[in-house]
Amino acid sequence: MITIPPYLKKGDTIGIVCPSGFMPYENAVTCIQTLESWGYKVKVGSTLGSQFHYFSGTDKQRIQDLQMMLNDTSIKAILCGRGGYGLSRIIDKLDFQKFKRNPKWIIGFSDITVLHAHIFQHFQIATIHAPMAAAFNGDGFQNKYIGSLKNAITGISTNYTCATHAFNKTGNAEGELIGGNLAIIAHLIGSHSSYKTRHKILFLEDVGEYLYNIDRMMIQLERAEIFKHLKGLIIGGFSDLKDTTVPFGMDVYNIINEYVKDYKFPICFDFPVSHQTENLALKIGIKHELKVGKDEVILREM
């Protein structure tokens, strides 16, 4: 049975932490101001604005900062400032016992997929795959994707529609929603943080990969039987992709479709979850219904 952390109310405190890559403090200012305008208090961790080479601090510093946020019962949600890389270096050194007794929302995407998968597999606690601090910059704080995060943390049920795609496979599915970054999901295979996907609805997105590496990761997921017992599959955005001097010969959706087209469950391509602006908040671990129709796609919380 999935545990749903308490939804936020005005006056609650949101912590901002950078458990992976470095993020300048100024890149989070609009986010902090927006969260405060929504009626929340904000507690900034020591890793926001801190830097140790690529990372937001040494492994020890990042463990200490995230551990403090996990343990602090006054903090009702933890918004990760950015992803990047680094969580898998520290995930096994974190203590989730106080978090398990007092669950709170963990929010983020990209490298934060490590946290989503680990928490779901070990503790069956819901988390939120959603835009992070930098997405608030410019006029981002006004768009519907940041709005979807605001809705998610306050308990408004997910109910999204998107356009159809030529590769879609029609049908209806019900199951717990899991997923995140393709590279991270492939990276976790063989570890005790890896998603168990039987009877789940899985979503995937990625950024900055070579096309041949997308192909390689899809082979890895296929061989690990990640797709075999799914209820449904959602393919999100794949942005800033690269090709080799000799072209791979297929675009990203053709590559992915080659590995999933023969499955019987409903499949949706080009869903608005990505490293781009189009990144709707998705509640991981919570049961959803996926309806892939001829005219539209619907994903709603049950």
Query: What would the pLDDT profile of 161-173 be if each residue is shown by its tens digit?
Result: 999 999 999 999 9
Mention every residue, 6+ apart, whose C-beta is less than 8 A from residue 154.
7, 8, 9
Is residue 189 a part of any domain in this protein?
A: yes
Last residue of a domain, one of 154, 188, 209: 154
Q: Give Cβ neighbours of residue 292 (< 8 Å, ≥ 6 apart).
A: 164, 168, 169, 170, 171, 172, 232, 266, 267, 268
What is the tally of structural domains in the chain? Answer: 2
Question: What mean pLDDT, rounded, does the chain reach?
Answer: 98
- The per-residue pLDDT for range 94-114, each reduced to its tens digit, is 999 999 999 999 999 999 999
The H-or-E segment that residue 289 falls in is: strand 287-292
Give me the phi and psi of 140, to 5 degrees please.
Answer: -60, -35
In this structure, the answer to whether residues 97 and 187 fall within a common structural domain is no
Same domain, 121 and 169: no
Return the structure tokens found at 3: 């545990």
Predicted local confidence at residue 136, as pLDDT: 98
**CB under 8 Å to 255, separation ≥6 — which residues?**
211, 214, 215, 218, 248
Does a structural domain hold residue 7? no
CATH for 126: 3.40.50.10740
Model-wide pTM > 0.85:
yes
142 and 190 in a common domain:
no
In a domain, 24, yes or no: yes
CATH number where 182 lies: 3.50.30.60
Average pLDDT estimate for 69-92: 98
Q: Do 91 and 140 lie in a common domain? A: yes
- Domain-ending residue, one of 154, 176, 204: 154
Residues 78 and 197 placed together within one structural domain of the fold:
no
Question: How far apart are alpha carbons 44 and 66 in whole angstroms?
Answer: 11
The confidence band for 150, taking pLDDT boundaries of 50, 70 and 90, is very high
Domain co-membership, 82 together with 145: yes
Whether 198 is covered by a domain: the verdict is: yes
Query: What was the pLDDT predicted at 139?
Result: 94
Is the same domain home to 55 and 186?
A: no
For 62-108, what is the HEC assignment?
A: HHHHHHHHHHCCCEEEEEECCCCCCHHHHHHHCCCHHHHHCCCEEEE
Residue 210 lies in a domain: yes
Domain presence at residue 181: yes
Instruction: Write down the pLDDT at residue 117.
Output: 98
Round to whole Å and give the CA distance between 134 and 270: 23
pLDDT tens string 209-231: 999 999 999 999 999 999 999 99
Confidence of residue 196 (pLDDT cuts 50, 70, 90): very high
What residue numbers bound the domain in which 167 lies?
159-301
Q: Note whether residue 5 is domain-resident.
A: no
